[in-house]
Amino acid sequence: MRIQILVFLLELAKMGADRDYVRVSSRELGSSLGKSQQTASRLLLQMGEEGLVWREREGRHQKVKITPSGIAHLRNLHEELARIFEGSIIEGRLFTGVGEGSYYMSQEGYRSQFREKLGFEPYPGTLNLRVPSCSVQEISMRPGIKIEGFRDGDRSFGGGRCYPIRIGPNDNCAIFLPDRTHYPPDVLEIVSSSQLRSEMGVTDGDVVCLEVLPG
């Protein structure tokens, strides 16, 4: 959906059109958003055609109410902004991976980028959690911090994205979503400045709670 329509829907909601019909002119709506009357009139017509608002004539005026479809678009906007600015909580169950985390996290091509972009020296290993696959999808929708792929001799290493998190009091942690992975889509790999298993006293099967930090 175009941003301009979302902005107009939001302005109508601020006027109370999310709850009931409100009397509004295209001139008034356009003025409140710094747009021309013609632009506001065109967008109101378009929103009506797309089923985002209901419009009724009242003499020389019109009344407008946001439809359930329009409310759903605003709710989606709210959820996206909440993920960005409020963070989220995820629970996962600890399991032992295939043992490649220590090898990859010992590569200077990764370590130097973690130091520069995340601000900590990564422990040579990862903490592996099984989580709902929808949680992985939700995280992957965020921009994240880009980790570039690199070559070391004849070997190439893929890139990925990192997402800063907090586990208990430890905020020197991040989710690493590699561009290429051998894990199924319900697995998160956690990098940290410390050996999280021993630090938290957890073992396979234990539930670990992490907070995805906003931003």
What does the pLDDT profile of the chain (215 residues) look like in tens digits? 588 899 999 999 999 999 999 999 889 999 989 999 999 999 999 999 999 999 998 877 799 999 999 999 999 888 777 766 667 889 999 999 877 888 889 999 999 999 999 999 999 999 999 999 888 988 888 889 999 999 988 899 999 999 999 998 899 999 999 998 888 899 999 999 999 999 999 999 999 999 998 76
| Cα–Cα distance, 202 to 86 (Å, whole number) | 27
The dihedral formed by the CA atoms of 31, 37, 42 and 46, expressed in degrees to the nearest 10: 30
Res 82: pLDDT: 73
Res 45: pLDDT: 92
Please tell me whether the overall predicted TM-score, pTM, comes out greater than 0.75 for this model. no
Q: Of 3.40.50.1100, 3.40.50.620, 2.40.30.30, 3.90.1300.10, which CATH number belongs to 87-212?
A: 2.40.30.30
Res 135: pLDDT: 87
| Cα–Cα distance, 166 to 189 (Å, whole number) | 14
The dihedral formed by the CA atoms of 45, 51, 53 and 55, expressed in degrees to the nearest 10: 60
Could you give the C-alpha distances from 103 to 100, 126, 136, 176, in angstroms and in order? 5, 10, 23, 15
Res 88: pLDDT: 82
Q: Of 3.40.50.11900, 3.40.50.300, 3.30.365.10, 1.10.10.10, which CATH number belongs to 3-84?
A: 1.10.10.10
Domain ranges of the chain: 3-84, 87-212
User: Could you give the angle at which helices 37-49 and 3-14 cross, rounded to 10 degrees?
Assistant: 90
CA pseudo-torsion sign 77, 79, 83, 87? positive
Q: Do domains 3-84 and 87-212 have the same CATH topology?
A: no
CB 206 within 8 A of CB 130: no
| Cα–Cα distance, 194 to 95 (Å, whole number) | 17
